[in-house]
Structure 1
Amino acid sequence: MKKMWAGRTAGELNKIADKFNASIPFDKRLYRQDITGSIMHAEMLAAKGIIPAAAKDHIIEGLEGILEDLESGKLEVDLTAEDVHMFVEGALTERIGAEGKMLHTARSRNDQVALDLRMYVKEEIEDLQQLVLEMVEALTDKAEEYKKTVMPGYTHLQRAQPITFGHHLMAYAMMYLRDLDRLKDVYKRTNVSPIGCCALAGTTYLTDRRMEAKGLGFDSICLNSLDGVSDRDYSVELLSALSILMMHFSRLAEEVVLWSSWEFKFVELSDSFTTGSSIMPQKKNPDMAELARGKTGRVYGDLMSLLTVLKGIPLAYNKDMQEDKEPVFDAIDTAKICLQVFAPMIREMKANEENMMHAAQKGFINATDLADYLTKKGMPFREAYKITGTIVSDCVKSGMVLENLPLEEYRKYSDMFEQDLYDAIDLINCVKRRNSEGGTSVESVEAQIQAVRNILEEEKGEWE
C-alpha cells in the first residue's frame, strides 16, 4: 500500500522498515483526540474561508461517524496504517471522498501529533488528580480512625519516639497533596495549543490558531512554531511528577510490607488485596504493595527514556520523537493502577493497636522525654542526655524498661528524679504533650486532618 506522503519517494517501504517506522500499535489510543482535534480544525478552516462550509459539514459528519463506530466496536483501527493520523484521514476519505483530503490543509502531522498528545496528557492529568484526591481521602479517613493509636516512630529503622498511627498516615497524605500540586502545575504548561505551527514554520494560510485553541479547551497557543512542534517539556514534567508520586508509593509500600510481616504485625491487610502461596498454606502475601514498589522503577525508566530521547535532537521535529508516547502512556497507566489499588487497600487495612503499643513500650522510645524531664528540673540537656543513655544501657542489660525501673534505682543516677517522672515517661502522655503544630498529639493530628479535609473540599468544589 502506497503511503499518503508518496511523491518525493515512491511511498513503498520494505516490510521490516514499514513495521519499524509505524506507530499505530501504540498511538492508536489517541484516536479520540485526533478526531476531536480534526473536527475543530475543519471548523476553523471553514470559518476562515479556507475550505467551503459544505465540505466542512461533510468532514465533520464523517469524523463523527468514525468516532462513533470506533467507540461502538463497529470499526477497528487498521494496524496496517502508519499512524493514527493516517488511519483517521484514510477512513474519512474512504467515507466522504475527495473532500476528506481538504482536512489536512494548514496543518502537518508534526503539529497534529503534538496537539493529540497534549490533549491526551491534559485529560489524563485530570484523571490522575481525581485519583490522588481519593488516595489522600483514604489516608485521612484512616488517620481519623487511628488518631489515638500509639506506635513507635522510627529513624534509621530503629525505634525512636512515640507517635500515633494517625500521625504517620497523615505524613503520606501530605506527600500526595504535593503530588497533586505538581500535577496541577504540569497541567498549566500542557494547556497550550501547538496546532497551526504546521511542520515547523507556520503556514501561508490566514488561519485562526486562537479560535482553534479555544475550541479545544486550551488556555493559550505556543508562540513559536519551532518550539510548538518540538516541545515535549510537559511530558518530561509529567513523568517527573509521576516518578515522585511513585516514590511515595514505594515508601508507603515498603512500610505496608514491613507492618504486615509477622516480625511487626502492626497491620492486617484485607484478603481482597493479598495473595497466598502455591506451597505454603500459612502465607498471606502483600503482593499489591510489593508490585507498586517494583513498578516505581518502571516509571523512573520511562522518565529516563524520554529525557534520553530528547537530549540530542535538533529543532524541530525528528522521528526520534515518535518514542515519546510509549513512556508517557506507560507511566500514566502505571500510576493510575497503583492509585486505583492503593486507595481501597488503605481503606480496608486494619491496625493491630495492641502490637503497636507493645512495640512502643519495648523500644525505650520515651528516653527523650526522660532527658527532657531532667532538663526541665534544671539540668543541662547534654548532661541529662548522658545520664538517660546510661540508664537505658543498664536497663537493656537487666531486661528492664524505663516505666518499670524503681524510683530508688533512678535516684542512683540523679537525686533530681522524683515520683512524677513516671507521669513524664508514660507513652500516652509522651504523645499527648507533643502538641506543637504538626506534632503527633491527638489535637495536632486532628488539626492536620481538618486542614486536609478543607483542601479536599476546596478541590472537589473546583471539580464541580
Structure 2
Amino acid sequence: MNKQKTWSGRFNEPVTELVKKYTGSIDFDKRLAEWDIQGSLAHAQMLCEAGVLSAGDLAAIRQGMAEIIAEINSGTITWSLDLEDVHMNIERRLTDKIGDAGKRLHTGRSRNDQVATDIRLWLRDQISIIQALIRDFQTALIDLAEQNAETVMPGFTHLQVAQPVSFGHHMLAYVEMLGRDWERMADCRKRVNRMPLGAAALAGTTYPIQRETTAKLLDFEDICRNSLDAVSDRDFAIEFTAAASLIMVHLSRLSEELILWMSPRFGFIDIADRFCTGSSIMPQKKNPDVPELVRGKSGRVIGHLTGLIMLMK
C-alpha cells in the first residue's frame, strides 16, 4: 500500500509510528462508517446534479460504496492506522476499487465538514433509538403502575416515613421524568439535524455545490449558515450529553430506591435471581448488581458532559 499521506506534500520525512498511534482515530471512529458512506453518497449525487461529477463517476462511486458496505457488514474490511481515520480509510478503499473517480468524490468538501456531518447523522439516529427505548420503559412502568394502583406503601421524606402512597403512584413519578427526558431529546434533535457539509475546511468552496440538495438527500431540516461555526460547533454534542445525563440521574434515582427497597431493612421488593449476583464468602447475600451498575454508569455520562464542556471552552 502507498502510505503517503494526502496532506504530506510539504513534508520531508514520514510520520513516526508513535505519532501515528497517538493521532490516529480509526480504532473508535470506524463506528461512523455507515454514516460516512451515507454522507458521501449524497455528496456525490449533489456533485453530479451540479455538473461537477459525471454520471459515470457517480455510478462507479455507488457501486464501490455498495461493495465497501458489504465488506464492513461481513467484517472483512481492513482498517489501516496509516490512513488515520474512517474517512480516509473508506476513500482509499473506494479509490482502490474504482480508480480516480474515488478521489473526485472529495471535491468541494474537507474532512472538517465531513466529520461534523458524520457525527450529526450518527447522533440523530442514536437519539431516535434512545427515544424509542424511553417510550418502551414508560410503557413498562405504566403497566406496573396499573397492576399496583392499590398497593399501599409508605412515602418518604428525609428517608423517614411520611405519608402513604400507592406503589403505582410512585412508579408514575418516573413516567413523568422520562417524559421530560423524551422531550429534551426531541428538542436536542432539532439542533443536531442541521447540515455542516459544504463548509469545507472552514471557508466554503469555490465549486458550485448545492447544499440544500445534499441536506434534502440526507433528511436534514436545515443547513448550518456560517462556515466557521459549521465546522467548529459541537454545542449539539454537549446538549445531547446534558440531556443524557439527566436521563441517567433519573435512572440512578430509581436504581437507588430499588436497592433500598430490596434491603431486608425495607423488604418491599424482591428482584428476580436472574438479575442479581451473589457473594463468594457470604452465601446468604443477593446483590442487586444491575441497579448498582446503573448508578455507577451515571457518573461516567455526567463526567463526559463535564469533559466536553471543558474541551470546548
What is the TM-score of this pair, normalised by structure 2?
Answer: 0.97
Deviations 1:116-149 (A, max 9, x none): 0000000000000000111111111111111101
Deviations 1:319-351 (A, max 9, x none): xxxxxxxxxxxxxxxxxxxxxxxxxxxxxxxxx
CA distance in 1, matches of 2:244, 2:78: 31
Q: Is the 8 A contact 2:110 2:200 kept in 1?
A: yes
**Which consecutive unaligned segments of at least 5 residues does structure 2 have?**
none
**Which consecutive unaligned segments of at least 5 residues does structure 1 have?**
312-464
Q: Between Structure 1 and Structure 2, whose CA radius of gyration is higher?
A: 1
Counterpart for residue 108 of structure 2: 106
State which of 253, 273, 278 in structure 2 corresponds to 1:276: 278
Deviations 1:323-381 (A, max 9, x none): xxxxxxxxxxxxxxxxxxxxxxxxxxxxxxxxxxxxxxxxxxxxxxxxxxxxxxxxxxx
State which of 115, 118, 127 in structure 1 corresponds to 2:117: 115
Deviations 1:287-344 (A, max 9, x none): 0000000111100111011111110xxxxxxxxxxxxxxxxxxxxxxxxxxxxxxxxx
Counterpart AA for 1:208: Q
Matched, 1:60 2:23: no
Deviations 1:407-436 (A, max 9, x none): xxxxxxxxxxxxxxxxxxxxxxxxxxxxxx
Q: Is the 8 A contact 1:3 1:11 kept in 2?
A: no
CA distance in 2, matches of 1:77, 1:21: 15
Q: Is the 8 A contact 2:252 2:294 kept in 1?
A: yes
Counterpart for residue 212 of structure 1: 214
Counterpart for residue 251 of structure 1: 253
Counterpart for residue 234 of structure 1: 236
State which of 145, 148, 151 in structure 2 corresponds to 1:149: 151
Q: Is the 8 A contact 1:5 1:11 kept in 2?
A: no
Q: Is the 8 A contact 1:4 1:11 kept in 2?
A: no
Alignment of 1:272-351 (within 5 A): 272-311=274-313
Q: Is the 8 A contact 1:34 1:116 kept in 2?
A: yes
Number of equivalent positions: 311
Counterpart for residue 44 of structure 2: 42
CA distance in 2, matches of 1:76, 1:182: 39
Deviations 1:72-127 (A, max 9, x none): 22323334420000100010111111111101000000000000000000000000
How far the C-alpha of 1:282 sits from its partner, in A, is 1.4
CA distance in 1, matches of 2:82, 2:254: 44
Counterpart AA for 1:222: C
Counterpart AA for 1:19: K
State which of 169, 172, 188 in structure 1 corresponds to 2:171: 169
How far the C-alpha of 1:277 sits from its partner, in A, is 1.1
CA distance in 1, matches of 2:98, 2:14: 25
Counterpart for residue 332 of structure 1: none
Q: Is the 8 A contact 2:245 2:302 kept in 1?
A: yes
CA distance in 1, matches of 2:108, 2:121: 19
Counterpart for residue 406 of structure 1: none
SS in 2 for 1:282: coil
Q: Is the 8 A contact 2:21 2:81 kept in 1?
A: no
Counterpart AA for 1:244: L
How far the C-alpha of 1:12 sits from its partner, in A, is 2.0
Residues 47, 10 of structure 1: CA spacing in aligned structure 2 closer, same or farther, 3 A cutoff?
Answer: farther
Alignment of 1:64-463 (within 5 A): 64-311=66-313
Counterpart AA for 1:247: V
Deviations 1:243-273 (A, max 9, x none): 0000001111100000001010000111121
Q: Percent identical across equivalent pairs? A: 50
Counterpart AA for 1:271: D
State which of 10, 13, 16 in structure 1 corresponds to 2:15: 13
Deviations 1:181-212 (A, max 9, x none): 00000101101011111111111111100100
Residues 10, 37 of structure 1: CA spacing in aligned structure 2 closer, same or farther, 3 A cutoff?
Answer: farther
Counterpart AA for 2:247: L
Counterpart AA for 1:39: L
Counterpart AA for 1:197: A
Counterpart for residue 24 of structure 1: 26
Counterpart AA for 2:225: L
CA distance in 2, matches of 1:61, 1:200: 30
CA distance in 2, matches of 1:124, 1:4: 32
How far the C-alpha of 1:53 sits from its partner, in A, is 1.2
How far the C-alpha of 1:11 sits from its partner, in A, is 6.8
CA distance in 1, matches of 2:176, 2:161: 22
Q: Is the 8 A contact 1:44 1:208 kept in 2?
A: yes
Counterpart AA for 1:193: M
Q: Is the 8 A contact 2:149 2:166 kept in 1?
A: yes
Q: Is the 8 A contact 2:41 2:62 kept in 1?
A: yes
How far the C-alpha of 1:51 sits from its partner, in A, is 1.5
CA distance in 2, matches of 1:289, 1:18: 40
CA distance in 2, matches of 1:2, 1:271: 57
Q: Is the 8 A contact 1:40 1:216 kept in 2?
A: yes
